[in-house]
Amino acid sequence: MEFFELKPVEEARLQFLQACAGSSPPAESVPLPDALGRVTAGAVVAPADLPPFARTSVDGYAVKAADTFGASEGLPAYLKVTDEILMGHAPMLALKPGEAQRISTGGALPEGADAVVMVEYTEMLSADEIGITRPVAPGENVMHKGEDARAGDTLLPAGHQVRAQELALLQSAGLLRVDVIRRPTVAIISTGDELVEPEQTPGPGQIRESNAAALTALARRDGALPIYLGKAADTEEAIRVLLHAALEYDVVLISGGSSVGTRDLTSKMIAELGQPGILVHGAKLKPGKPTILAVAEGKPVVGLPGHPVSAQVVYGLFAAPLLRQLQGQPAEPPFKPVVRARMTKNVASATGRTDCVRVRLRREGAEVWAEPVHGKSGLISTLVKADGLVTIPSSIEGILAGDWVDVEVLA
């Protein structure tokens, strides 16, 4: 048996992601601290002005800017100090022309004041008089009421990923819960007669199952809730049972048995699972040719190669964008955090094929160099040695030593 048709990676990915696009993902409300890394299910609106009152951004004196115009070291503007505004309290007095009030960073501006002079540009003349040695413009050193957000403004749009700064913004608005997209559940299945569970000692010809550990970690990193369903022997019945159980979850990842040999039953069992079935069997990809992309009963199914390196590369190319899409994010982010580096060696790549090259990074002066880590895709230590991956797209025949590349750092 042979692969029916090897698909270019880009085409395979597009077809798969389009087939998996559809209904908007379900939402849930979570307490703010649990929202880190999650994606907003709807727009979050400011219930009130932020900041709720005009505040100073420096230590100094609240003034009317017009009173400082023309002030200089040689000819300071003289102002009467009428009060000191205490932190956490409303100002007691309105500010009249010719007056100043002492104020600390974050303090509330008194009525009548429109700017703050930094303490560095003032001199104390007596207990209640200062000289100002530099003019301020209206609004200078002031955070206006509602300048961060006005009541009714969108604080966060739908589909926005929550980071530390989003948590701070929501908390300052008094929003203690936020509606986020539910984490997709991911069923993970391993296949292979040779596999034993990690706590077992492998007998002759056996190896410990390890793909589930990596796939669980990657899915969790990508915001999903992974569940390992166990390993299936290389029999139709064993694979069928676990695949059916996996349809309870939002996404199915099954590794091993995805090629076209006599013991490779995964594609046959996925094809039986439901409609529309297999979209892609075989990708023009190295490592990762035996890739299966399918949709069964509305559930995305990714058949990953058994070789540990291939499984992780295929996860990154197809499952990671799927999980982003299922969480309301663009499958292809508009920008990715990459390191620009120069390749140390020529790397060949067949035309039409996408190559994912493991690289180790090292800095030399102002430049970062990417050294290919060679080794078979069954050797998991090669990924441990690698700092990142360089993708050689199908349109390119290879990379020359010294060429600049984008390295996707393996987190």
Return residues touching Mg ion (CB under 5 A): 192, 256-257, 306
Greatest CA separation found in the chain? 96
The neighbour count for residue 33, using CB atoms within 10 Å, is 9
Report the SS3 class of residue 319: helix
Report which residue's Cβ sits closest to Mg ion.
Answer: 192
Binding positions for ligand AMP, 30-49, rule CB under 6 A = none
Nearer of residues 190 and 325 to Mg ion, judged by Cβ: 190
DSSP 73-136: SSSPEEEEEEEEPPTTS--SS---TTEEEEE-TTPBPPTT--EEEEGGGEEEEETTEEEE-S--
Structure-block tokens of residue 106: 């974050």
Question: Distance (Å, rounded) from C-alpha 287 to C-alpha 283?
Answer: 10
Report the SS3 class of residue 65: helix
Q: According to the binding rule CB under 6 A, does residue 209 interact with ligand AMP?
A: yes
Nearer of residues 44 and 278 to ligand AMP, judged by Cβ: 278
Q: Write the interaction track for ligand AMP spanning residues 68-97; mark x where CB under 6 A is met and - where it is not.
A: ------------------------------
Q: Which stretch binds ligand AMP (CB under 6 A): 87-95, 219-227, 303-311, 354-362?
A: 303-311
Q: According to the binding rule CB under 6 A, does residue 306 interact with ligand AMP?
A: yes
| Amino acid letter, 345 | K
Q: Which stretch binds ligand AMP (CB under 6 A): 121-129, 168-176, 196-204, 205-213?
A: 205-213
Place of tokens 């698909």: 7
- Choosing from 40, 56, 133, 190, the residue that interacts with ligand AMP (CB under 6 A) is 190
Nearer of residues 292 and 359 to ligand AMP, judged by Cβ: 292
Interacting residues of 304 by C-beta distance below 8 A, sequence separation 6+: 211, 215, 253, 254, 255, 256, 258, 288, 291, 310, 311, 314, 315, 319
| Amino acid letter, 47 | P
- Choosing from 15, 210, 216, 329, the residue that interacts with ligand AMP (CB under 6 A) is 210
Q: How far is the CB of 361 from ligand AMP (least distance, A)?
A: 27
Binding positions for ligand AMP, 241-300, rule CB under 6 A = 255-259
- Choosing from 20, 71, 100, 195, the residue that interacts with ligand AMP (CB under 6 A) is 195
Q: According to the binding rule CB under 6 A, does residue 192 interact with ligand AMP?
A: yes
Binding site for ligand AMP (CB under 6 A): 190, 192, 194-195, 207, 209-211, 255-259, 305-308, 378
